[in-house]
Structure 1
Amino acid sequence: MTTPDPSAKELTKGDFTEVKKPFELFGEWLNDATEAELNDPNAVALATVDPDGLPNVRMVLLKGFDERGFVFYTNFESAKGTELLGAGKAAMCFHWKSLRRQIRIRGPVSPVSDEEADEYYRSRARGSRIGAWASKQSRPLESRFALEKAVARYTAKFALGDIPRPEYWSGMRLVPTSIEFWHDRPFRLHDRVQFKRSGPEEDWTTTRLYP
């Protein structure tokens, strides 16, 4: 007796029986991941390109999305921040292994408004706000003690009252021109659907792709 492959179940959300609008479908898949993944269902691989044209990739946390795009936060003076500001474009890849699903996103990036960044910064734990001041992200660190010393200094500086957001710390919004949904199927006969558009005000075109 053959054990059924869990990826072979008929899932309206997963098998594209009814292809939805991309942001709607993304929201459904993220909700499914939130229920299924033990740690950081909003974790995403973020790819950028450095001034020499070499790619860089690292994991970040998605902090929000809507029809305007996908938002994450960073230190603008870090390698990630300078590459995002310099190239003005990026790519993302979500992979939820337990759900056997993947989403790839590409498009231009731009900073969020100060108001949006301030609102999110205020929602962070106090220690995380201190960390944004103490860490010179991506730059050489002489010792762990040096970092702990910086944390202690800013903890004392902001002992009372609000902790302001550093000017170099803010959010970026990736405005997708391409979103591709992938769902694992038996025998590598996967489902792939790609949404593309030429700009944020343009309509999406939908294409099924060979796996």
Structure 2
Amino acid sequence: MERDGHFAGDDPFEIARGWLAEAEKSEPNDPNAVALSTVDADGLPNVRMVLLKEISDDGFVFYTNYNSAKGRELAANPKAAMVLHWKSLRRQVRIRGMVGREEGEGADAYYASRSLKSRLGAWASEQSQPLDSRTTLMAKVAKITAQKGPNPPRPPFWGGFKITPVEIEFWADGAFRLHDRFVWRRSDIGESWKIQRLNP
């Protein structure tokens, strides 16, 4: 099967990193923004935007509060889908797979790289929970600032998730809506990829 140009390569993670690197040069805001889809306990889908922080050799990593709605949904049903869409490139990447936590040194290092205000905000925000006012939140931030000081550790309820995919689809816009689509599928993590061209 002929896959040339920006579809060329034998490693879907490398292709995805290459596309993201291209988007970083042309996309005006947050080229690493992804729409993340999970399901709740009743099987009702939920989708929101998050920032993809790493495309590793085996997965796609983002960070969040584990007690948030997405954190709770992923704990109950550790499967997810995400899509990166770049209008500047007229391309997208769709990912579906299994989810596991990314904790330890990698999560600590990413947390430490964030601004101090973001690190303190992670401690103060009970993400997805009801909040009576912004004043209440800012008061909590001030209290956490006094307690934790200028170098707060990563909260135990905050860290990463990695989607290890069983399906990755690369899509590029084509003339007359005759788009190019290639999907990489495997029956299970660790299995070999099978690649197919799809109709637009």
The interval holding the TM-score normalised by the smaller chain is over 0.9
Q: Percent identity at matched positions? A: 56
Q: Secondary structure at the match of 1:63?
A: strand
1:51 pairs with one of 20, 34, 41: 41
Q: Does 1:192 align with 2:181?
A: yes
Q: Secondary structure at the match of 2:165?
A: coil
**Residue 57 of structure 2 corresponds to which residue in structure 1?**
67
Residue type of the alignment partner of 1:167: P
**Residue 205 of structure 1 corresponds to which residue in structure 2?**
194
Alpha-carbon shift at residue 68 of structure 1 (Å): 2.1
**Residue 82 of structure 2 corresponds to which residue in structure 1?**
92
1:127-138 → structure 2 map (5 Å cutoff) = 127-138=117-128
5+ long unaligned stretches in structure 1: 1-10
2:165 pairs with one of 160, 170, 176: 176
Separation of aligned partners in 2, 1:72 and 1:148: 25
More deviation in 169-178 or 151-160? 151-160
Report the aligned-residue RMSD.
Answer: 1.2
**Residue 68 of structure 2 corresponds to which residue in structure 1?**
78
Residue type of the alignment partner of 1:182: W
**Maintained 8 Å contact 2:31/2:86:** yes
Alpha-carbon shift at residue 19 of structure 1 (Å): 4.9
Alpha-carbon shift at residue 113 of structure 1 (Å): 2.9
Q: Does 1:102 align with 2:96?
A: no
Count of residues in Structure 1 that have an aligned counterpart in Structure 2:
197
Name the TM-score, length of structure 1 as normaliser: 0.90
Separation of aligned partners in 1, 2:109 and 2:187: 31
Q: Secondary structure at the match of 2:199?
A: coil
**Which has a greater percent of strand?**
2
Separation of aligned partners in 2, 1:70 and 1:122: 20
**Residue 12 of structure 1 corresponds to which residue in structure 2?**
5
5+ long unaligned stretches in structure 2: none
Residue type of the alignment partner of 1:23: F
Q: Does 1:113 align with 2:95?
A: no
